[in-house]
Protein backbone atom coordinates (compact mmCIF):
# COMPACT_ATOMS: atom_id res chain seq x y z
CA UNK A 1 0.00 0.00 0.00
CA UNK A 2 1.36 3.43 -0.93
CA UNK A 3 0.93 6.15 1.63
CA UNK A 4 0.05 9.71 0.74
CA UNK A 5 3.13 11.93 0.80
CA UNK A 6 3.37 14.76 3.30
CA UNK A 7 6.36 16.88 4.32
CA UNK A 8 7.92 15.53 7.50
CA UNK A 9 7.89 18.91 9.19
CA UNK A 10 6.61 22.44 8.74
CA UNK A 11 7.26 25.36 11.02
CA UNK A 12 6.08 28.92 11.41
CA UNK A 13 5.93 31.81 13.81
CA UNK A 14 2.84 32.76 15.76
CA UNK A 15 0.37 34.60 13.59
CA UNK A 16 1.79 33.28 10.34
CA UNK A 17 0.08 30.92 7.91
CA UNK A 18 1.45 27.54 6.97
CA UNK A 19 0.36 24.97 4.42
CA UNK A 20 0.77 21.21 4.57
CA UNK A 21 0.56 19.25 1.35
CA UNK A 22 -0.72 15.72 0.85
CA UNK A 23 0.12 14.13 -2.49
CA UNK A 24 -1.48 10.97 -3.80
CA UNK A 25 -2.62 9.61 -7.12
CA UNK A 26 -5.65 9.62 -9.36
CA UNK A 27 -6.82 6.50 -7.51
CA UNK A 28 -7.20 8.38 -4.25
CA UNK A 29 -6.72 12.13 -3.72
CA UNK A 30 -7.18 13.05 -7.38
CA UNK A 31 -10.11 10.77 -7.98
CA UNK A 32 -12.38 11.57 -5.05
CA UNK A 33 -13.40 14.58 -2.98
CA UNK A 34 -12.94 12.44 0.12
CA UNK A 35 -9.80 13.91 1.65
CA UNK A 36 -9.79 14.45 5.40
CA UNK A 37 -7.27 15.99 7.78
CA UNK A 38 -6.53 15.16 11.40
CA UNK A 39 -4.61 16.81 14.21
CA UNK A 40 -2.90 14.73 16.87
CA UNK A 41 -1.22 15.97 20.02
CA UNK A 42 1.18 13.53 21.72
CA UNK A 43 -0.65 10.77 23.56
CA UNK A 44 -4.03 12.06 22.45
CA UNK A 45 -6.67 10.79 20.08
CA UNK A 46 -6.56 12.17 16.53
CA UNK A 47 -9.06 14.97 15.98
CA UNK A 48 -10.93 15.49 12.72
CA UNK A 49 -10.19 18.96 11.31
CA UNK A 50 -11.39 18.81 7.69
CA UNK A 51 -13.54 16.37 5.75
CA UNK A 52 -14.48 16.08 2.10
CA UNK A 53 -11.52 18.30 1.10
CA UNK A 54 -12.68 21.57 2.60
CA UNK A 55 -15.46 21.09 5.14
CA UNK A 56 -14.96 21.81 8.83
CA UNK A 57 -16.84 19.89 11.51
CA UNK A 58 -18.74 21.92 14.04
CA UNK A 59 -16.40 23.31 16.68
CA UNK A 60 -13.23 23.34 14.56
CA UNK A 61 -11.62 26.76 14.26
CA UNK A 62 -11.99 28.55 10.92
CA UNK A 63 -8.22 29.05 11.03
CA UNK A 64 -8.05 25.57 9.50
CA UNK A 65 -8.93 25.28 5.83
CA UNK A 66 -8.54 22.63 3.17
CA UNK A 67 -8.27 22.56 -0.60
CA UNK A 68 -7.30 20.25 -3.44
CA UNK A 69 -5.72 20.58 -6.86
CA UNK A 70 -5.22 17.49 -8.96
CA UNK A 71 -3.56 14.76 -6.93
CA UNK A 72 -2.51 17.11 -4.11
CA UNK A 73 -4.60 18.22 -1.17
CA UNK A 74 -3.56 20.98 1.22
CA UNK A 75 -4.28 22.02 4.77
CA UNK A 76 -3.69 25.66 5.65
CA UNK A 77 -3.43 26.88 9.20
CA UNK A 78 -3.76 30.63 9.42
CA UNK A 79 -2.97 32.78 12.45
CA UNK A 80 -0.67 30.06 13.78
CA UNK A 81 -0.94 29.58 17.55
CA UNK A 82 1.18 27.69 20.06
CA UNK A 83 -1.62 25.15 20.53
CA UNK A 84 -1.38 24.23 16.85
CA UNK A 85 1.94 22.51 17.50
CA UNK A 86 1.05 18.90 16.81
CA UNK A 87 1.19 16.15 14.22
CA UNK A 88 -1.12 16.37 11.23
CA UNK A 89 -2.08 13.67 8.78
CA UNK A 90 -4.34 13.38 5.79
CA UNK A 91 -6.50 10.54 4.59
CA UNK A 92 -8.32 9.73 1.39
CA UNK A 93 -10.74 7.18 0.10
CA UNK A 94 -9.08 4.98 -2.50
CA UNK A 95 -10.48 2.87 -5.26
CA UNK A 96 -8.23 0.02 -4.21
CA UNK A 97 -9.47 -2.77 -1.98
CA UNK A 98 -7.98 -1.20 1.14
CA UNK A 99 -10.54 1.63 0.89
CA UNK A 100 -8.54 4.19 2.84
CA UNK A 101 -5.01 5.50 2.53
CA UNK A 102 -3.26 7.79 4.97
CA UNK A 103 -0.55 10.42 4.78
CA UNK A 104 2.94 10.00 6.15
CA UNK A 105 2.30 12.71 8.73
CA UNK A 106 3.65 16.22 9.30
CA UNK A 107 5.00 17.66 12.52
CA UNK A 108 4.08 21.31 12.90
CA UNK A 109 6.37 23.42 15.06
CA UNK A 110 5.45 26.88 16.25
CA UNK A 111 8.66 28.86 16.56
Q: For residue 81, how many other CB atoms are within 10 A of its CB? A: 12
> Which one of 10-18, 42-50, 63-71, 74-82 is the stretch in contact with other proteins (CB under 8 A)?
42-50
Contacts of residue 91, defined as CB under 8 A and 6 or more positions apart, other chains included, come to 4, 35, 36, 37, 38, 100, 101, 102, 103
**Which lies closer to other proteins via its Cβ, residue 44 or residue 69?**
44
> Is position 64 an interface residue for other proteins (rule: CB under 8 A)?
no
> Is position 51 an interface residue for other proteins (rule: CB under 8 A)?
yes
Q: Which residues bind other proteins (CB under 8 A)?
A: 1, 3-4, 32, 34, 36, 38, 43-48, 51-52, 57, 89, 91-93, 97-105
Amino acid sequence: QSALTQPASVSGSPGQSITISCTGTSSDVGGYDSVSWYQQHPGKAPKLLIYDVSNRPSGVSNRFSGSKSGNTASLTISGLQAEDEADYFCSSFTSTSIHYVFGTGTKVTVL
